[in-house]
Amino acid sequence: MKARTTESEQRDPQTYAIIGACMEVHRQLGHGFSESVYQEALEEEFKLRSIPYQREVRLRIYYKGKELKCKFDVDFICFGDIVVELKALRQLSGTETSQVINYLKAANIRRGLMVNFGGPWLKYERFVHDPSSVSSASSVDGSEPEGPE
């Protein structure tokens, strides 16, 4: 199977490495497992590929300078500055996209990935957040399905 590589991925080797690890997990396991299975398998793949990561990272949330009691838990932070959120859903809604954008804003992190293992093809979406802007976070590309050559 061959996936298309976008020009922006070629300029971001760290994100490209994470997507490659996700593709290998999906190739090995297929779809139909729970998110926790993919999370554990991806952790093993990160180790094999020497991709630095933290798993299940708790993010603090602030409102007008005050830390809230509520917290966000992200699946992974890779390379110290890429939020990786996993899903195992047949179909994604706007809620999942909002979740990743909120994680980026809350943690003041620039790059993020949402990866969905729930369908016959791995789907992912990359996000970029401008920490200098209060409301600037957006998807930079859509899913690129992994498919036959």
Q: Total domain count for the chain?
A: 1
Does the structure show a pLDDT above 70 at 138? no
Q: What is the pLDDT of residues 91-104, one digit of tens each?
A: 888 888 888 998 88
In a domain, 107, yes or no: yes
In a domain, 51, yes or no: yes
In a domain, 1, yes or no: no
Does the structure show a pLDDT above 60 at 126? yes
Does the structure show a pLDDT above 90 at 36? yes
In a domain, 137, yes or no: yes
In a domain, 29, yes or no: yes
The 8-class DSSP code of residue 49 comes to T
In a domain, 36, yes or no: yes
Does the structure show a pLDDT above 90 at 61? no
Report residue 122 as tokens. 């791995």
Q: Which domain holds residue 16?
A: 7-141
In a domain, 23, yes or no: yes
| Residue 58, beta-bridge partner list | 73
In a domain, 2, yes or no: no
Dist. CA 131–CA 90, nearest whole Å: 32
Dist. CA 24–CA 131, nearest whole Å: 31
